[in-house]
Structure 1
């Protein structure tokens, strides 16, 4: 491909700043059309972002001859069907994370990619952000020696619409749509980046429960996992604490020190060794998906390789399946 001409299916909130504008900012890339089932909202998005065309039917966008690559930004329940339709039309797909609702759906997407020869990419953009590349660099350079274990803690308060007398759960906590709860939405980023740094997880188990009863999905998850490299890991995710208890921290413990960083909210990376403490402050870019989209465009043009593919993207779903389905019936 010479020029990558994108169509977006599902122009919701994630596309407003994180991803959508980046398609026009990357060299040799442009956003040609957007689609949303609500035609008025699709038209509004197209007008505000200066997108030439809009649709209210996904098939019409997929079959638009001007479009040669498709970004699927719908909730996960539609990812498999839309990705397969796009690949059958010969158009590469860039899929929002998580790649699908579970590992089986991811496998079917990747099987179609193999069959058609059409590439799949997944929006695990931390693989291309300077903040996370710095964490990887520090580990690769053995600044903290040999890594012993990883510790993740994510504590989040319920969203406003999930509490009160008449709660209105978001689609992210409807397992039929998202595949799980907030764990599936957020931990997918965490496990993808950890595998980028340490290689494949070979074993993971955990307990997933619903304690607060605000919605059907699990709201607390505890997990243990092990990488093929020998590094061990543990994590806790709770989405029903108060605002004062909110925490987003990951620690990588090595034989000569530790690295503390955040996955979602903070821009500091703290490195502690015998030599002292050093802090790196690396803010995210305005459009956080732009560095990854740039690499995807380059791969489609035959210039380089994207660090995120359908194969790597499916791994987070597999790990989350191991954890949430391992012991849901109790001890």
Structure 2
């Protein structure tokens, strides 16, 4: 690898400032060379803070910049597909935040544009690049838990600011899009399969119209199940428990693992409830956003296929669609 990927960032999203831009700036294979926002003051401040050479007042100007090799798109959800397609039309590969689209149909439109250009597009599920998830999948594959039959996931936080994009229903806000998608994605990753049907219970904020509390149940082949709860208005919580016939695996910080601290997996053979069969597996500190950026850069530089491409993103969106339908119909729905 001899080149450095010159990234352009669309917008000044919180996730970009907090995690992704610092990760790219410290990555092996990339640097952020430009950032764009319709807010001139904010984009200038972001550029100065992170040492970004060029700040644009429009997305189109950044996309047209021939010195940019790849785009990171963390814009509000309703802009994921249209701006990613525009980037492809300008010859730029795109790492796009989750959810990749507002529904599976929109995601398939993006896939058609990707096929037409042949450029890489990936959904930014950074967790799949963290070694704790790769280790968890390996433990399942090795049979350390026996036959894995159930996964339970909780992901919640409290946010009641009406100005926040997560609380704006018309642009793709709500808990299922924002955090429930992780529960679905990681269960599919661990099971190595797609769910056959889904059912959901959903409670919406009376003012925002967004789903603020959603619980879902997914039925996978072989009788395996995912049960999850996600919320935008409950105490900050993250936890994944993987249950097998001979043991259970707990992932205490499954999604927002700290970049500068070790994480751990807890394996328990279930011999008693006092932790007699408990084993802790330490995972060295890893910046999962940096790993994600370098993996995408390697794809651009090497020409090799993405480990997880748009077909996986479409599969995740189909499950989300089924859950939204189920919340209305009250019935099981097929993805």
Query: What TM-score comes out, normalization by structure 1 length?
Result: 0.88
Instruction: Give the Å deviation of 1:10.
Output: 1.3
Matches within 5 A, 1:132-171: 132-156=133-157, 158-161=158-161, 168-171=162-165
Residues 228-278 of structure 1, C-alpha deviation per residue, up to 9 Å, x if partnerless? 46522222234444x4xx542221111111111243367442111148111
Q: Distance in 2 between matches of 1:201 and 1:253?
A: 18
> SS in structure 2 opposite 1:74?
coil
The 3 A distance-change label for structure 1 pair 59 and 97 is same
The number of residues matched between the two structures is: 319
Please name the residue that 2:295 is paired with.
Answer: 295
Structure 1 window deviating more from structure 2 (269-278 vs 37-46): it is: 269-278
Residues 198-242 of structure 1, C-alpha deviation per residue, up to 9 Å, x if partnerless? 22323232234335525201222222212346522222234444x
Q: Distance in 2 between matches of 1:14 and 1:107?
A: 25
Query: What TM-score comes out, normalization by structure 2 length?
Result: 0.87
The 3 A distance-change label for structure 1 pair 240 and 21 is closer
Residues 84-138 of structure 1, C-alpha deviation per residue, up to 9 Å, x if partnerless? 1111111111101111212111111111101111110111011111222221121
Instruction: Give the Å deviation of 1:3.
Output: 3.3
The 3 A distance-change label for structure 1 pair 227 and 330 is closer
Please name the residue that 2:60 is paired with.
Answer: 59
Structure 1 window deviating more from structure 2 (321-330 vs 112-121): it is: 321-330
Please name the residue that 1:223 is paired with.
Answer: 216
The 3 A distance-change label for structure 1 pair 248 and 33 is same
Please name the residue that 2:130 is paired with.
Answer: 129
Q: Distance in 1 between matches of 2:278 and 2:224?
A: 23
> SS in structure 2 opposite 1:216?
coil
Q: Which 5+ residue runs of structure 2 have no aligned equivalent?
A: 258-262
Please name the residue that 1:209 is paired with.
Answer: 202
Matches within 5 A, 1:1-331: 2-156=3-157, 158-161=158-161, 168-178=162-172, 180-210=173-203, 213-228=206-221, 230-241=223-234, 243=235, 246-262=236-252, 263-264=254-255, 267-273=263-269, 274=271, 276-282=277-283, 285=286, 287-302=287-302, 306-330=306-330
The 3 A distance-change label for structure 1 pair 74 and 27 is same
Instruction: Check the 8 A contact 1:6/1:68 in 2, yes or no.
Output: yes
Structure 1 window deviating more from structure 2 (119-128 vs 14-23): it is: 14-23
Instruction: Give the Å deviation of 1:295.
Output: 1.0
Q: Distance in 2 between matches of 1:80 and 1:153?
A: 28
Q: Which portions of structure 1, spanning 4 or more consecutive aligned residues, are displaced by more than 6 angstroms? A: none
Instruction: Give the Å deviation of 1:4.
Output: 1.6
> SS in structure 1 opposite 2:211?
coil
> SS in structure 1 opposite 2:288?
coil
> SS in structure 1 opposite 2:215?
strand
Instruction: Check the 8 A contact 2:131/2:283 in 1, yes or no.
Output: yes
Q: What is the root-mean-square deviation of aligned Cα atoms in Å?
A: 2.3
Q: Which 5+ residue runs of structure 1 have no aligned equivalent?
A: 162-167
Structure 1 window deviating more from structure 2 (305-314 vs 34-43): it is: 305-314
Instruction: Check the 8 A contact 1:169/1:215 in 2, yes or no.
Output: no
